[in-house]
Amino acid sequence: MGILKVDGITKTFGKYTAVNNISFEVEEGKIFGLLGPNGAGKTTTIRMITNILYPDKGTISIMGKPTGPEIQNIMGYLPEERGLYKKLKVIDQLIYFARLKEIPKDIALSRAKEWLAKLGAAGWENKKIEELSKGMQQKVQFISTILHNPPLMILDEPFSGFDPINTEILKSIILEMKSQGKTVILSTHVMAQVEQMCDDLVLINKGTVVLSGGVRQIKSGFGKNTVVMEFEGNMDFLNDFAGIKINERSNNRIEFKLEDSGISTNDILAKSLSNGVSIYRFEKVEPSLHEIFIDVVGKQNKMNKEQGNEN
């Protein structure tokens, strides 16, 4: 059963339509990617789910109930723009936010200590937020999001500001929560994280859903028409091939898409060999989400632009 059901929500600000008839469903116990370029309407959508804004049209239901003040307690929201009271002590901050989710003070206190220890932040209780580094503040903020043990978490760019070690710690915590049956909505621009963590996703652009489904299905749906090559030598001749779109190119790795199904990979291989390129890897793969993202959003933007010109 879907823990969250978004059904045809629309939100306009004056003449500007931020969200236009968006629908999707999040399965319980899954990690769900909410993706889209800047200004796509992600934040507005999240704010409607968290009951900060109200949709003009459409409904949002969580665990079968319409979203509202009572539902807010079962959600934990980590906004992209982080915020803590600079002058407040870490422990007071955590207790305050937990109490706003109606967790009694003593429970909040013991849980806060547990979590601080778990994130390698034991002993920070009485430090003021302004005394902490940015990464430390991020940890406190993350703890404040989950201290009330919500079954549904909405994390907007949770890894920003973390070093690779802390990113891994956070990832393992999120995956641990998933294994406990909790649901996570993950909004991020880092597609690699989505590929690693998400089960399902929805991609929105300009206020509408342009792609949705399971990550696996979406990738296989785009077919194995991407080639990854690792090599040594000069591959510039690829530029002359018609029907090839290069996604990523570096000194000794190239990823390109075969847009024209008539192109034979054998031709490319033969040409490479005749140019004296040593090949370490040549593989037909599913496209990366990164590529899909650029492909889908780019196509739609181009289409809109053309429509705009016709009008």
In the complex, which residues of this chain contact other proteins (CB under 8 A)? Answer: 14, 47, 50-53, 69-70, 72-73, 75, 77, 79, 81-88, 92, 96-97, 99-102, 144
Minimal CA–CA distance to 188: which of 202, 177, 175, 176? 202
Q: Which is nearer to other proteins, 40 or 218 (CB)?
A: 40
The whole-angstrom separation of Cα 42 and Cα 69 is: 21
Q: How far is the CB of 264 from other proteins (least distance, A)?
A: 52
Tally the C-alpha atoms within 13 A of residue 32's C-alpha that lie toward its C-beta.
Answer: 24
Residue positions counted in the chain: 311
The whole-angstrom separation of Cα 116 and Cα 139 is: 8
Please name the residues in contact with 234: beta carbons below 8 A apart, sequence gap of 6 or more.
Answer: 275, 276, 277
Q: Which is nearer to other proteins, 24 or 77 (CB)?
A: 77
Q: Which is nearer to other proteins, 105 or 224 (CB)?
A: 105
Minimal CA–CA distance to 248: which of 273, 278, 285? 285
Q: Which is nearer to other proteins, 72 or 225 (CB)?
A: 72
Q: How far is the CB of 99 from other proteins (least distance, A)?
A: 5
Q: How far is the CB of 248 from other proteins (least distance, A)?
A: 34
Q: How far is the CB of 72 from other proteins (least distance, A)?
A: 5
Kindly calculate the radius of gyration of the chain based on its CA atoms and give it in whole angstroms.
Answer: 23
Q: Which is nearer to other proteins, 77 or 256 (CB)?
A: 77
> What six digits make up the tokens of 123?
């002993």
The whole-angstrom separation of Cα 258 and Cα 263 is: 7
Q: How far is the CB of 116 from other proteins (least distance, A)?
A: 18
Q: How far is CA 87 from CA 91, 128, 144, in A?
A: 12, 6, 16
Q: How far is the CB of 208 from other proteins (least distance, A)?
A: 22
Q: How far is CA 239 from CA 119, 242, 246, 270, 271, in A?
A: 49, 8, 9, 15, 12
Q: Which is nearer to other proteins, 7 or 92 (CB)?
A: 92
